[in-house]
Structure 1
Amino acid sequence: MAPSFLFTSESVTEGHPDKIADQVSDAILDAILGQDTKARVACETFVTTGMVVIGGEITTNGYVDMPDVVRSTLKSIGYTD
């Protein structure tokens, strides 16, 4: 008898919190690397209604205004309120 296995995968659509969090994390990474190419970034983003939390470790000689990056990213993906 051939061995059996179960394969699963997850797919999320536009507007899903995971997609939003990925966009914010990517924007933070890009902003930091734009100032310091040797920066080390381990950034996690958590989103819920009306709130974004950034966590992790960032080592850089640059400065990024995180609230500004978050707000501009949300605005660029269609969240205007």
Structure 2
Amino acid sequence: MSKSFTFSSESVGEGHPDKVSDSISDSVLDACLEQDPQSRVACETLVKSNCVTIAGEITTNAKFDYE
């Protein structure tokens, strides 16, 4: 008997806003963990036109320039 399931995936090209957003969020996470391995990071990056917004919660002792 075969089971039914749904599979989905997303692929975006270089320069796509999702890739830019992921790269920024990853950089924030890396900067925190580099200085404070106990960091807790829930970072979302929103990109629209020429506006970038970093949102979420970060608990860390790390100091870094996010601007």
TM category, shorter: 0.7 to 0.9
- Alignment length (residue pairs): 66
Q: Is residue 2:55 matched to residue 1:41?
A: no
Q: Normalized against structure 2, the TM-score is what?
A: 0.84
- String of CA shifts for 1:38-70, please: whole Å, max 9, x gaps: 010000000111111000000001111111xxx
Aligned residues: percent identity? 58
More helix by share: 1
Identify the structure with the greater strand proportion. 2
CA distance in 2 between counterparts of 1:58 and 1:12 reads 27
TM norm structure 1? 0.71
For the aligned residue pairs, the C-alpha RMSD in angstroms reads: 1.6
Cα distance in 1 for partners of 2:5, 2:38 equals: 43
